[in-house]
Structure 1
Amino acid sequence: MANRTQRVVLVMDYGDIRGGLEKVCIESALALKAAGKDVVFFCGVAPVDPRLQAAGIQVHCIGVQDIASDPSKLRAARNGLWNNAAARKLDEVIRDTEDLSATVVHVHGWTKSLSSAIGPVVTAPDIRHVFTMHEYFFACPNGGFYNYKTNEICNTPAMGLGCLSTNCDLRHPAHKAYRVARKLVQSARGGLPSKVRNVIYISAVQQEVMQPYFPPSTTLWQVANPAVSEKRPAVNVAGNTDFCFVGRLVETKGALEFARAAHRARVPAVFIGDGPLRGAIKAANPQAVILGWKQEDEVVQHLHNARTLVFPSKWYECQPLVPIEAQALGIPVICGDWCAARETVLHEETGLHIRSLDEGGGFDHALTRLSSADYAAQLGQAAYDRYWAAPLTMQRHLDRLLGVYEQI
């Protein structure tokens, strides 16, 4: 492999881990540094993960607040549309080098604090760049192709008349109007996605949904996010009874539907997480156990009591890691056939797909089928073997990432 890329500038809204996006960005920064690259980390919101500077990574945090937490609504709205300060500083950081051609700028997130003002900076003709899609903001104003009013996937073309006339936002219609305005600025002034030359997608579902919104000049690269690198013994699912859900107890994740289906199928439902639907879940299924939020190691411990991991998320997702992590432990997974999890959960081989969360959609039947210890053990072993035959390790992610860098 050639070695054109000596310096990588990683860009995201936050300086610490707040979700999967930030975890991938920060951990890949550390891996790139360990691989001998000159890594620069640029972010909008403090605090910054202390591991970055400890590893010798150059950090630039402009110290703004994200648009949701800024006490000045006017400033938040203005910066959310166009953050000039972020753009100027990022341009300065990118160009602070003797050989710009050896630099790749890799953007992981910009919608929470940096804004699309960084678009013209990153996509300048002399800048080698790539954006990773961790959501759907390049096209959809709310970032998810999901109608939060009807709680279903939105198939309306983004920014078309149907989109503009639909209040799909979880909050006030004015919030949807602001998101539309932000998307218009993003497209017209920020050049996102029309000027973007390289995009990383993390699942085939994401590619399928987003491909129509990119110009022919944009090259799409598939680079799966890292998942589990440490191999642990397979869970004895045949000896367990718990049907486990991991995540926020909210409408989009299908938590309440799982509680109802588990009650109908008479299987023990265990929720690792918390959220506004806690009360509704207990009302729908009094036998359900809600453990609340747990640390990563504690989640793994609880999964050692699982018969099955249930992932009933209602939206497309991008590359959900919880089903992958469960299969790496030898736990079969139930997921929707509309969701990106279907790519890693093979129907009737490593888990089961369901058609919908309604009573006739196969959810109850899937839970009943995996009540069989032998069947669960069969699928769980297949899941374990399949994952570890080609594990999504950080090294594998890094190799693919460096391969993309060399070609852009």
Structure 2
Amino acid sequence: MTDVANIDRIVVINDLSHPLGGASALAVQSAIGFAQAGYPVTFVSGDTPSPGGIGDGRITAIGLGQPRLLARGRTDALINGVWNRAAYALVRDIIAAHDTPGTIYHVHGWSQILSPAIFAALRPVRDRLVISAHDFFLVCPNGAYANMTDGTVCTRTPLGASCCLAGCDRRGRMHKVWRLARAMIQRAVLAPGTCPPVLAIHAGMAPALVRGGIPPCAIDVLPNPVVPWSTSRIRAELNQDVLFVGRLEATKGADLVLAAARLAGVSLRVVGDGAMAADLRARYPEMQFDGRLDPGAIAEVARHARMLVMPSRYPEPFGLVAMEALRSGLPVVLPPTALLAADIGAIGAGVQVEPRDTPAFAAVLRRLVDDDTAIRMMSDAAFAHSAQLALEPAQWIERLLAVYRMTLLGAASHRPRPSSVPLARVA
């Protein structure tokens, strides 16, 4: 394909090649979109790609064959989490063997397997590198800008004295020391003051990224692509089930909504799997657990839902399931710390509640289950106005390509990257 900026190849780099979470799903989705548009694509991951490859087989998948840090022995995880020498060598060798002046490199996730070592390996092509900020690991040691013990939002400067002394890691002080060491090494190899383009998934992320040392001119806002569960409004006011979709891990707060639903006496349907699955099934036998479902099956479940709950313990930079629900006409109940909370409130499509406050959470659920009029109003508002909060998949791919072209043009001319990429900003 002939291109104004001569994109020869797009190299997508992510911890996982399987779409198990939001960031990984988006990395895979982007690779498939680029391949369908006719661009040569290489997907580099820390895990082992599926034997069938990614997408329709047109994508070159290269995997390191390693598990995530939590699935490793303690010593292995401590060492490789800070600096994965095999990941460094893999990325270095791929660049040495296949790089061209028209090759773009896009990093999505690195904290679970690849480690900060990949930024050192990418130094020779730094002027053709783009980084997606799906969370805050680019600047924050624990990746959340939150105290992981109580969920409060962190206002400290990353790696400052107050940050280093804060007991914000849910695994304890020694784990925080390890996170600090990793963050310091990452800062040294990334040099955030001259950071390559950073794509934030919500405008609310920008101040926090700047506080961590990323220059404002390096940050572009690129909302996630969203495919609604239904192209017609789900008649939420006629349904009864409260719906949770997500990983069954502490960060996502499934246990919090289960406790609130039991107290409120409402039915909750749980879609997802994770480390807490067996325990939650045993503790809440009256609730329905569907396990992990494919997108089509989730869409079918959503058609029978009254509302979606996103009870995350820590600030959510975006919340893909919330947008999928809103675009389909489902009201959303979420914490005030979620960056989408203000947007959802502005269009009247949901309710904010602190999920750790079980009585308050239960009261909100009970009220919404009993109030058909309120649900209908929020459902109408969600379906009519939520499109402005996200992108269509084709729009998203085109805006990514626009960022790549501008990056390549800057690299070719040896000029600093322009401080604004209009096509990559929120419309």
Give distance in 2, aligned partners of 1:126 and 1:177. Answer: 29
CA RMSD of aligned residues (A): 3.0
Superposition map of 1:248-267 within 5 A: 248-263=247-262, 265-267=264-266
> Secondary structure, in 3 states, of the residue corresponding to 2:163?
helix
Question: For the structure 1 residues 335 and 288, does the alpha-carbon distance in structure 2 shift closer, same or farther, using more than 3 Å as the test?
Answer: farther
Question: For the structure 1 residues 95 and 346, does the alpha-carbon distance in structure 2 shift closer, same or farther, using more than 3 Å as the test?
Answer: farther
Alignment-derived partner of residue 108 in structure 1: 108
Give distance in 2, aligned partners of 1:3 and 1:319. Answer: 31
Question: For the structure 1 residues 192 and 84, does the alpha-carbon distance in structure 2 shift closer, same or farther, using more than 3 Å as the test?
Answer: farther
Give distance in 2, aligned partners of 1:32 and 1:218. Answer: 26
The normalised TM-score by structure 1 is 0.87
The worse-fitting range, judged by mean Cα deviation, of 367-376 and 264-273 is 264-273
Match of 2:287 among 286, 289, 293: 289
Deviations 1:277-334 (A, max 9, x none): 8767987xx7951314131333322222211112222311121111111112211112
Give distance in 1, aligned partners of 2:288 and 2:55. Answer: 38
> Contact 1:205–1:339 at 8 Å: present in 2 too?
no
> Secondary structure, in 3 states, of the residue corresponding to 1:181?
helix
Q: Which amino acid aligns with 1:86?
A: A
Alignment-derived partner of residue 187 in structure 2: 187
Match of 2:52 among 37, 50, 53: 50
Alignment-derived partner of residue 152 in structure 1: 152
> Secondary structure, in 3 states, of the residue corresponding to 1:378?
helix
Q: Give the aligned length.
A: 403
Q: Which amino acid aligns with 1:316?
A: P
Q: Which amino acid aligns with 1:133?
A: A
Give distance in 2, aligned partners of 1:270 and 1:347. Answer: 27
Q: Which amino acid aligns with 1:385?
A: A
Q: Greater share of helix residues, 1 or 2?
A: 2
Q: Which amino acid aligns with 2:167?
A: N
Match of 2:20 among 18, 21, 36: 18
Gaps in structure 2 of 5+ consecutive residues = 408-427
Gaps in structure 1 of 5+ consecutive residues = none
> Contact 2:260–2:361 at 8 Å: present in 1 too?
no
The normalised TM-score by structure 2 is 0.83
Question: For the structure 1 residues 262 and 135, does the alpha-carbon distance in structure 2 shift closer, same or farther, using more than 3 Å as the test?
Answer: same
> Secondary structure, in 3 states, of the residue corresponding to 2:38?
coil
The worse-fitting range, judged by mean Cα deviation, of 169-178 and 35-44 is 169-178
> Secondary structure, in 3 states, of the residue corresponding to 1:330?
coil
Alignment-derived partner of residue 170 in structure 1: 170
Question: For the structure 1 residues 140 and 215, does the alpha-carbon distance in structure 2 shift closer, same or farther, using more than 3 Å as the test?
Answer: closer
Superposition map of 1:283-322 within 5 A: 289-296=287-294, 297-322=296-321
> Contact 2:13–2:108 at 8 Å: present in 1 too?
yes
Alignment-derived partner of residue 38 in structure 1: 40
Give distance in 2, aligned partners of 1:179 and 1:90. Answer: 23
Deviation (angstroms), 1:89: 2.8
Alignment-derived partner of residue 404 in structure 1: 403
> Contact 1:255–1:281 at 8 Å: present in 2 too?
no
The worse-fitting range, judged by mean Cα deviation, of 52-61 and 192-201 is 52-61
Deviation (angstroms), 1:21: 1.2
Question: For the structure 1 residues 43 and 349, does the alpha-carbon distance in structure 2 shift closer, same or farther, using more than 3 Å as the test?
Answer: same
Deviation (angstroms), 1:257: 3.9
Identical amino acids, percent of aligned pairs: 26
